[in-house]
Structure 1
Amino acid sequence: MISIPICSKGCPTGMLSQFLLSRILENYPQVITNKNVFTLLQNEEFYFNCYQIASILKPVKELTNILEARNANLADCFIGLIKLGAKINQIQPGNQWKSIIIFNYNRRLGEFINNINILAYWLHPLYRGFGLKQIALNKIYETASILWHDLGNSEESCLNLLMEMRYWKRKVVPYDLSFNSIQETPMKWWLSINVQENETDQLQELALLLFSIVPSQAVCERNFSMLKWFLGERRTNLTLLKIESMAKIRSYYISNTDKEIHFRNKNLSEDELRKSIDKSVVTYDIFENEILERNENLEQENLNRSEENTEDENISSTILNINQFVNLTLPEFLSTGNNLFESITNRSNINERNERGNMEYNPISLAQRILNEENN
């Protein structure tokens, strides 16, 4: 029996796989019975392509784990997209998988990239928007202005925020502090900004709000799974208030099973009880399911047809859409260390301010005014 070193993830170790397979072909050629496989294993380009694809899967796995953590932040989303895009950019043009990878990356990019994530990246004390192109920088001021307006702040306060953003861009005091990516997080760094007594720092408050947002949470996924249990596969028309009430009732009874459900079989475990409830409560009409399934199949066919048309138009593309916003060729984005991803361990509650001032103003026009002054 031939043994091959296996890594912890169940795959042959990258450094030894080609060497070991070559030894097998030399010493035990009868093991490989398929001629196509035999020819493929002798092709140097095959191993090179596998290595490049594996280099893409690594940042994908890292990004997935990071964004599912409770301490993830919005900047992590954009940083992960940059790292993944930089890895894809390094694939050799001759690789047959490159155009397919780029197509799928571009197709999913629109679901995750937005101006708020870019703003969080710009406010990250390690990066400070490093590598962003002018088209992205112009949107940052507008996004911050709109957010500040929607938070109920006056025109004067919004103008102060935009001025502080200019100071931040130039690393003017108090935004000139160094950032230790090992001992600090973006939240801790922004909390360390010193503000004079009886004064407020609008940019600090906005940054703390952004870095307090967790982009993904497993609890939310479980809640949505529970909603599917409520709705089933019927297209019911339940109001938000009713769904919320149902969720509260379910949570209460699950938490107080022993006290509230007296008739339950004491020999049943909690998991067995839940399965019994699921089977007894959620019942589906076969006829309705057939109609629903038929309609969904038609919708899926239309969706697949639309995606196939789009794929035919874009599959040959070799340009990453994120290049519109970021210069991926910068060496700082090619780092493989995990220190690029910072986490939040603290949360800060910011007291709301009641200000008197002009509340009827256009935040985009205000941002454009500051940008024009900046460029002149």
Structure 2
Amino acid sequence: MSGSIREFSLNNWSADLSRVRPRTESDAQARTETARAFVSPTPARRVWLRFKQQRLGYWSLIIFVVAFAASLAGPLWSNDKPLVVRYDGHLYFPIVKTYAETTFGGDFPTPADYLDPYVRHRFEAPGNFAIYPPNHYYYDTLNYFSNQPNPAPPSRENWLGTDAQGRDLFARLLYGFRVSVEFGLVLTFIGTVIGILAGAVQGYFGGRIDIVGQRLIEIWSSLPELYLLIIFASIFEPSFLLLIVLLSLFGWIGLSDYVRAEFLRNRTQDYVRAARAMGLSNWQIIWRHVLPNSLTPVITFLPFRMSGSILALTSLDFLGLGVPPPTPSLGELLAQGKANLDAWWISLSTFGVLVATLLLLTFMGDALRNALDTRIADAMRAGGNQ
């Protein structure tokens, strides 16, 4: 009797195990997907997933990142120095080190001109070779061997033509795009940090601090920014750093108002009261609790602020108040196109690069705004469930 009872219990136990174990591979996959459905992604991941659903903005981000990465690697694409040189059994890397002309059989100890027909002829000797970038010109390299007067139209040697001084237009656009994006990134970062600090202090503490801060911002914003730039440009030599400092003094004002409004709203929430009851300091509450919940307008405006920074640099360069020559600049090329209306390739290519850059940033900003908008996210989720 006891043996039959033990056998019956073992049979029931094995039957229960068969119910628990997935019978087929499809059942296992279904259970895995069900488990993943119960795991809620982080807020940042939810925003990223919603951003990827905005196909125009997502592909604009990819194109912009690839273009900027290519401009950072500009010396590999457009340079007047070879990447690798083999001469008399030795390897040389002119792209990272400067060599004298005497190293390659020349007569002078000056830096070698790798576009000189004499030097290039030395590299064509048996046993020697030189690997050049696809475009053989740097942004300040002059084409002394052009068969046409400058500005020269597009040709096999200069893909997009040359500017009024005989410099390769493709190289100027490549490095000018890099300078513009770097300027936009730095100016956007500095302006965002200052705007967050000013708006956070006003919005969280409120009262007299908020009133005094608002009056100071109104006075500061009433200063003529363009006139100040003209005055400083006449006193100091224009430079990348000077433009960053001057534009950063005014570039944070609009953003601080949005941060202030978010802090005024969030400081009355229950989690802030709970943090105060736990004994956290004001700066701990601002940094750990209020700021992460107030960054939505900041993140939304980042692409638009960056496009505004690029457009500001282009405008200043067009007026002659931007970066000093021979620094490549889109605004300087537009000014050359205006001065040489017959050279249509200068205005057309520069305008195309500028418009494409601003459009990519605009598409990215629209997609990011939709990804951060919970109402749009709920509508997309409801549409997907139907």
TM-score normalized with structure 2 length: 0.22
Structure possessing the higher relative contact order (Cα contacts under 8 Å, 6 or more residues apart): 1
Larger Rg: 2
Of Structure 1 and Structure 2, which has the larger fraction of its residues in helix?
2
**TM-score normalised to structure 1 length:** 0.22
